[in-house]
Structure 1
Amino acid sequence: MFNPSRDQVRTFFIDAWRKHTAREVLTPLETIAADILQNHPEYHTLVEDPEAVDRDFAPEDGQVNPFLHLSLHLAIEEQLSIDQPPGLRAAFDAACAQRGNRHDALHDVLECLGETIFNAQRNNAPPDGLAYLTCVRRRAGLV
């Protein structure tokens, strides 16, 4: 099972962006990461700083962890590629149509995924795929 450390995840995004901007050959996963970063110019300065691996982003200070945000985007892209949970791709396609913008629809899904992870951690239970899918469908206006 793939279980990278916080530093490995951060280094992955930093390296993917460095390779992208240097026009080096990217792995398929690095290509997805670079595409995600292209849609987040507000994070370019961060991922161009190798010291960012060690930065803290405390929620109690009102900070959003950009690496968590990017990681959730990456997870969603993987889920969409395999339609997991089943029906996610169709719900996402509906969200895209409803929002008129793929990135905005991804952020809707990201909110649902974050809520699902939070609830799983709070309840000390596995993530509820049905609740996740229902949330995405609700945001797409299907429920």
Structure 2
Amino acid sequence: MFGHDRDGMRRYYLQCWKKFQQKQPLDALGQQVAQVIAEHPEYHKLLEQTDAALQRDYLPENGETNPFLHMGLHLGIREQAATNRPVGISEIYRQLVIQYGTLDAEHRMMDCLAESIWLAQRNQTAPDEAAYLDCLKKASN
């Protein structure tokens, strides 16, 4: 959506959340972003601190989770399930949602998506859809 523009992406999240709270109209993507933020109350305080939210680095080696990445993975999984890309993900998603509920299902899927993206970036290739689907099938067990 924003390429490598971290600040632009973060500002968009902050803008969507502010509009949502003020009951202002949002476009379709903005509605999706606001919905994911609403489902994560643990991030609300951070999103109210604009400067901190924009500037902070989240380092996995310090055990930190990047809330923007986390919420972005939710959005990515929802888009994949809605478009069934890769083919077969909609059924896996549906089964996981029935079994665990939407948020928990998506949390189970996130590691697979993040790993698929990371491997594709590291190897400078397209994501391996078959490996991704295999990972998701294992997550459903």
Higher relative contact order (CA 8 A, sep 6+): 1
8 Å CA contact 2:19, 2:26 repeated in 1:
yes
Amino acid at match of 2:93: F
Do the aligned partners of residues 121 and 84 (structure 1) sit closer, same or farther apart at CA in structure 2, a change above 3 Å counting? same
CA-to-aligned-CA distance 1:91-143 (integer Å, 9 cap, x gap):
111112222x11100111111101111222333322111111111122223xx
Query: How far apart are 1:4 and its partner, in Å?
Result: 5.2
Counterparts of 1:41-80 in structure 2, within 5 Å, are 41-51=41-51, 52-80=53-81
The ranges of structure 1 where at least 4 consecutive aligned residues each deviate by more than 6 angstroms after the TM superposition are none
Amino acid at match of 1:54: Q
Aligned alpha-carbon RMSD (Å): 1.5
Partner of 2:129: 129
Do the aligned partners of residues 66 and 2 (structure 1) sit closer, same or farther apart at CA in structure 2, a change above 3 Å counting? closer
Partner of 2:104: 104
Which sections of structure 2, spanning at least 5 residues, go unmatched? none
Which sections of structure 1, spanning at least 5 residues, go unmatched? none
**What TM-score does the superposition give when structure 2 sets the normalisation length?**
0.91
State the identity as a percent: 39
CA-to-aligned-CA distance 1:44-92 (integer Å, 9 cap, x gap):
0111121111111122222111111111111112111211101111111
Structure 1 position 86 matched with structure 2 position 100 = no
